[in-house]
Structure 1
């Protein structure tokens, strides 16, 4: 996945027109669509065959849905792709479950062409595709109703500085904004972020944001940064 060349994408959606439209948009920007899938099983197989960088994954598909496909992709590959969940509604309960399963963010299906391209490039670079305000609403509405499905995360390994970093990540701050807020260099910020992700056992900022809310470090509906 680190080899040079165009960014490679798999599109999984049960609507052929959606797949075709997305493929045309991405192709026009130099992003290669290496496979398309009409359901979750096809998506899992396509990822296994083509080893893409990013998967655009619809949740509601016949047979194996996108949520199960996401779980299988992220647990069945040593170097899995980033997964963007496609949805028609930003408070779809499946979106929260998919993010908890390891997806890197979500995108509304009516997003503009520019937003689609930016989303693919954003998650491929390791950043979260989540607006903090939407994340708060998702967590507030669904996190308390998962009946134990949400994995417990222990924040005790994080230093006070790393806890501050995590709180600010959950607020949606970029590395540049983190550096300015904490009055440290961006290289130092990147080191802290890498350590936070490693200690939490998560792949990217999307999962770090979810963890911040799940553990109560950040309270839904509140912008208070104190623990």
Structure 2
């Protein structure tokens, strides 16, 4: 592999700063984490948008969350077809091996992936409709959510679709037999959240109300 290059100097400097401070002050804890294995209580499925920082939002330390990030925090439906599925593999490992007690789907405001789905489903993003578009085919997962909000005024549709990305993922999680079994035996609970970085707010989905409410 002759394409790889050394890290940019600013990242190396940050690493050495972290090792000299945070790691040095807590090295016994880090070594315990390394040798004792991970035992997170929750899995968080969030968008890979750089503005969504799960550990900062919840003030979490290493070892607390099993985090999986992808475009628009989507979970595909269960499909045991023998093909590689990154998100499904992460869910399987979290639920069956790590035995997490909670799976949290965290959506967010101003999601570029959701906007891409909105534009594609509205006929304004032909490039995403190409079979060769990885993003477009991934955002097909959210098409059912778009259908549910397509009747809304254009100004309200995008924000509603961001929350549909959370709901579609929760619905798809329940198509996984091991997830459904764990939920039904009350070994696992599912949670839907939506956050706005700019406003510093967090909302959770309330099934009884059928909508997201501030926490």
Higher strand share: 2
RCO higher in structure (CA 8 A, sep ≥6):
2
Give TM-score, length-normalised by structure 2: 0.30
Give TM-score, length-normalised by structure 1: 0.29
